[in-house]
Amino acid sequence: MPRAMFDYTKAVLSKVSFDVQLFSKELKKAITRLLPYEIEELMIWVDSLVKQHPQLNQCLTLLKP
């Protein structure tokens, strides 16, 4: 079940990657709902997404501990 949440989170973040505010909001929600090891995986995935969408670069600060 947790893996489904992780996959769902990635799908949602991909769909809202056009809007920085929406992306930030969904990323904050994801951080509260995912398990610690999933957040680490999400950090790697978001980093690669930011390379495709540079406007999301400011959202990386949300993932810093």
Q: Tell me how many domains the chain contains.
A: 1
The predicted pLDDT at position 62 comes to: 81
The predicted pLDDT at position 43 comes to: 92
Q: What would the pLDDT profile of 7-45 be if each residue is shown by its tens digit? A: 999 999 999 999 999 999 999 999 999 999 999 999 999
Question: What is the domain extent for residue 30?
Answer: 2-63
Sequence-distant (6+) residues with CB within 8 A of 47 are 60
pTM: 0.86
Six-digit token pair at 46? 């978001």
24, 37, 57, 63 from 4: Cα distances, Å = 21, 14, 26, 21
The predicted pLDDT at position 7 comes to: 94
Whether residue 1 has pLDDT greater than 70: no
- Reduced to 3 states (helix: H, G, I; strand: E, B; else coil), residue 65 is coil
